Amino acid sequence: QVQLVESGGGLVQAGGSLRLSCVVSGRAFNTYVVGWFRQAPGKERVFVARIRWIGDSKYYADSVKGRFTISRDNAKNTVNLQMNSLKPDDTAVYYCAAAKDMASGYAYWGQGTQVTVSS
C-alpha cells in the first residue's frame, strides 16, 4: 500500500504561482512513478505531469509544459508541482497518484487539493 497526501492548493490571480506538495509513504514508494492529475468542474480527470522516483525522468502534458515543474524531495518523501503563470483554465482539483509502473496504471490516489485561478 502507498499513501499520498496533497497540500498547497488555494486561490490565486491569473499570472500567479502556487506550489502543490504530495507526501508519499508506504511500501517501496520510492520505486514508484508519481503523477499529478487534475479535474475541472464537469470535466474528466486529466494527466498533468509525472516523475519517476528512480532516475528522475519527467513528463508533462502540453497544456502545462513550460509553466509547471514537477520535482521530488527525497529527504521529505515529497513530490512537488510548481505552477507558474497560472490561467483560469488551470482551475481544478489536483490529485497526486502513484503507479508501480506505467503498465500497471495509477493504483493509489490522494484526496485532492483545490486550485482556483481568478481572472
Percentage of residues in the chain with pLDDT exceeding 90? 84
DSSP output for 66-111 = TTEEEEEEGGGTEEEEEE-S--GGG-EEEEEEEESSTTT-EEEE--
Residue 58: helix, strand or coil by DSSP? Answer: strand
Nearest to 36 by CA among 117, 116, 118, 109: 109
Which of the 8 DSSP states describes residue 44?
A: -
Residue 15 predicted with pLDDT over 90: yes
| Residue 45's pLDDT band (cuts 50, 70, 90) | very high
21 bridge partner residues: 7, 80
Of 15-19, 22-26, 102-106, least confident by mean pLDDT is 102-106
